[in-house]
Amino acid sequence: MTQTPLNIGVLGAGRVGTAVARQAVRAGHTVTIATGKPAADIRLLTEVIVPGATAVDREDLRSADVIVLAVPLHKYQSVDTSVLRDKVVIDTMNYWAPVDGFMDEFEAGTSTSEVIADFLGAARVVKTLNHIGYGDLEVDSYPAGDPHRRALAVASDDAEAKSLVSAFIDSLGYDPVDAGPLAAGKAFENGTEIFNGRHGAARMQELLSECSRVLCNA
């Protein structure tokens, strides 16, 4: 890894949280992982599934440089917002009514991450990692410059947070592509060509531009 190692906190020890945590450990970052339960409850799981990461209580994530939020979207209101206050938070979550149930706030046409940012209040929300399957994250990773390298879109209203997260995405083995503000995250939500596909950086840029002209009305 060429980037500076970061302290990465992961909230949610399910499919996505553990896959991101494993890839982050592999990239040389210091990784802590928590759920809503005490650290002891996920210590064994962490040792076995994410060797190199440390299970912590959720309050201990506050010392992380970046916190990856990987809980089911329908549970977002149960997240302890005090842990995420003023933190750079990667929102990996997606809305899918058959799984999450019908939720009015996610049917209104805004990006789901705007709803999450409103809920979290002071957090510096960055949307990315939602549009890659958890099973792909580790196997689709390539070094910078490799022609097979896949791109991941990154959206945020906070330029500094977006830059930090983009460096993190690069360290995981993906080309970060700036998607613009959080509202533009609609371009890579469930049902879009970006969400359903595997794209290099040039094609990702094209798809994001098409979206900003058509879908996002920007």
Ligand X SMILES: NC(=O)c1ccc[n+]([C@@H]2O[C@H](COP(=O)([O-])OP(=O)(O)OC[C@H]3O[C@@H](n4cnc5c(N)ncnc54)[C@H](OP(=O)(O)O)[C@@H]3O)[C@@H](O)[C@H]2O)c1
Contact residues: ligand X, CB under 6 A? 11-17, 35-37, 70-73, 75, 78-79, 92-94, 130, 133-134
Instruction: Give the integer Cα–Cα distance in Å for 97 and 150.
Output: 28
Q: Counting Cβ atoms within 10 Å, is residue 3 exposed (0-12), middle (13-18) or buried (19+)?
A: middle
Residue 30 exposure: Cα atoms within 13 Å on the Cβ side: 9
For residue 107, how many other CB atoms are within 10 A of its CB? 10
Which residue from 125, 95, 119 is spatially nearest to 107, judged by alpha carbons?
Answer: 95
Minimum distance between the CB of residue 2 and ligand X, rounded to whole angstroms? 25
Minimum distance between the CB of residue 167 and ligand X, rounded to whole angstroms? 20
Minimum distance between the CB of residue 54 and ligand X, rounded to whole angstroms? 15
Nearer to ligand X, 102 or 202 (CB): 102
Minimum distance between the CB of residue 45 and ligand X, rounded to whole angstroms? 9
Coil, helix or strand at residue 177: strand
Nearer to ligand X, 15 or 148 (CB): 15
Contact 31, 53 (CB under 8 A): yes
Minimum distance between the CB of residue 145 and ligand X, rounded to whole angstroms? 25
Nearer to ligand X, 9 or 180 (CB): 9
Nearer to ligand X, 74 or 209 (CB): 74
Q: Counting Cβ atoms within 10 Å, is residue 119 exposed (0-12), middle (13-18) or buried (19+)?
A: middle
Nearer to ligand X, 116 or 216 (CB): 116
Give residue number: closest CB to ligand X. 14
